[in-house]
Chains A and B, each alone.
Chain A
Amino acid sequence: MDYSFSPLGDQAIIIEIGNEINVQVQHNVRVISSLLETHAPEWMMEFIPAFTTVTVFYDPLLILYNEAETELTALLEKASEMKAPLPRTVEIPVCYGGEFGPDLEFVAQHNGLSAEEVIRIHIEGTYTVHMIGFAPGFPYLGGMSDKIAAPRRESPRVRIPERSVGIAGGQTGIYPISTPGGWQLIGRTPLRLFLPEEEVPSLLRAGDAIRFHQISEEEYQAMEGQKNAHNT
């Protein structure tokens, strides 16, 4: 496995695995992440996997930069024998259109499709979670069909409701918390992506495969109601 190290300030080291996003690099990011989970060095505070890098935050009172390089080199030798954990597949139910997806018509018109065709194409795809970032539990997803790509809104919404499913350029995504944003909203999921009370506070993890399926508004309400009942 090829990689290089560089410092990120005086408390972190970046392991760069490649300089473009591809399947092999993604695989190696996952191998290194799982190695850091299972063989967490005592001087490591935490790590952040991204598209082509894994950044290790360390305690500089316990280890200096050069020593961290040496120790990580030794640790990464194990990586060649390791396989990445099998990707999980997570099903995301989505209620498309209506008040949950006010921009579904725009995405359809923009691509010369009907709303039903946009939904069908969105559902057919299998998406990969490249990384979690931007907001708590927010997945950067790869794998959307160009046929339903759409530009961001000219003026961003002040508040996008949480669990909205949207499209921006060639990407699709789900908003775990309500934030301002310019994405075209096509639907909403009753599933919570950000779970602050859980040990793993994110429904999704880097490497997961995602599939969307369509639910009706009644099903949406039922699932949301059920979830609220659980919480009380």
Chain B
Amino acid sequence: MAQVTLIEALTMAMAHEMAKDPSVVVLGEDVGVNGGVFRATVGLSDKFGPLRVLDTPLDETTIAGIAVGMAAQGMKPIAEAQFDGFVYPMVDHIVCHAARFRTRTRGRLTCPLVLRVPWGGGIRAPEHHSEANESTFTNVPGLRVVMPSSPSRAYGLLLAAIRDPDPVIFFEPKRIYRQYKEEVADDGEALPLDVCFVLRDGSDVTLVTWGAQVKEALEAADALAKDGISAEVIDVATLKPLDFDTIHESVKKTGRCVIVHEAPRTAGFGAEVAARLAEHAMYDLVAPVERVTGYDTHIPLFRLEMKYLPSVERIVAAAKRTLAAS
């Protein structure tokens, strides 16, 4: 088994599936000879050639539109958006077409594409390179919105996304692309979509998060443990469709919930989790739900960005507030 980073796990998954299934193709800006600006597609062009690892013109509309057309005609395109902030010209094709082909043709045409989106802040990048825009897509019927938080989940979830018969927006937390290595077997075993992963058992408070913030949530749980507080940590992994049952089961046990995400607070995906708790778990809760999120501002340029992103300190404080409340 190889020790790989999250981004190496992604490359491994794509290479595995491309070798197995000739309909799988990769397309985007700089994905070919250059291997992607983050090197996610490194080596794929040599292995599979320039038609299956396609450097497109510098136009996100082209990438999304071509991917939709290819997917409807029997290919499995993995399109790369290069950066989160460049996804907006793609939205028309994803929302109006990829997400709807199955419904509007009653299953005659489908759109099994994966849109890979390097996501989020914290890498000292220029403007428009640090967006947490997952809720742009979580309100769209027909899409799956997936975000891994470790090398093994990156491998297993990307395989599942490629094999899924419906369009998947696959957000990649670039802050943890190379944060640590993990043993990942290149065995072609996918992980299930549409389920949350409970990463740490606890009994006092539930920390619900996804993507890069999983790291801060686990560190917060460690810090809380030192104060005798037992925190359960849930990686949502598939935001849409949401596995609320796993969150609910946890909250039945802990009675407290802190939702952590990097995106702005208002109408961020945490609002959906909180609404579900209000609908289904009101009597299980012993304290108000807390949200630790990005602020309703634009993520600042990098001198201030770490003040914007949820920190271990903010998560610990929120968890303690839920304990103080009851």
- Is this pair of chains taken from one and the same complex? no
B residues contacting A by CB (< 8 A) are none
